[in-house]
Amino acid sequence: MKTITLLTILLSGAVTFAQQAPTATAGSADNGKRLFMRDGCWECHGTVGQGGRDGARIAATALTTAQFSRYVRRPTGAMPAYIDKVVTDQELSDIWAYLKSIPAPTPAKDIPLLSELKGQ
């Protein structure tokens, strides 16, 4: 019963957020960077969102803020779910803004060392 209740709450929250997202205040990338560290996003995704064994590369995310928020509330993989009591909708918008602000990585072919190792 507890699980069902929690899921219901999470689901309601996700639906509510998805509806509200288009009207949410534009995120602050600076605050998002701070929250990215505070909320432990870096633990799996790396401090610049580069990704790793436990988390995907999310720097320069291609997701919309609504898609991003929906995933954080109800992740389909193994990522911990963050409820709005832990990270508010506005904070999620800020984190999204930070991720969006990170420049896309330099392609491997343009990094001499990687290019050389790959061509071996």
Cβ proximity to other proteins: between 11 and 86 the closer is: 86
Q: Which of 24, 57, 63, 90 binds other proteins (CB under 8 A)?
A: 57
Q: How many CB atoms lie within 10 A of CB 113?
A: 8
Tell me if 50 contacts other proteins by CB under 8 A: yes
Sign of CA dihedral 52, 42, 75, 94: negative
Q: Is 111 in the site for other proteins (CB under 8 A)?
A: yes
| Residue with smaller CB distance to other proteins, 23 or 72 | 72
Note whether 6 binds other proteins by CB under 8 A.
yes
Query: Under rule CB under 8 A, which residues in 68-97 are in contact with other proteins?
Result: 75, 77-83, 85-87
Give the chain as a 3 state SS string. Answer: CHHHHHHHHHHHHHHHHHHHHHHCCCCCHHHHHHHHHHCCCHHHHCCCCCCCCCCCCCCCCCCCHHHHHHHHHCCCCCCCCCCCCCCCHHHHHHHHHHHHHCCCCCCHHHCHHHHHHHCC
Residue 116 contacts other proteins per CB under 8 A: yes
**Least separation, in Å, of the C-beta of 118 and other proteins?**
5
Residues of this chain that interact with other proteins (CB under 8 A) are 2-3, 6, 38-40, 42-44, 46-54, 57, 59, 75, 77-83, 85-87, 105-108, 111, 113-114, 116-118, 120
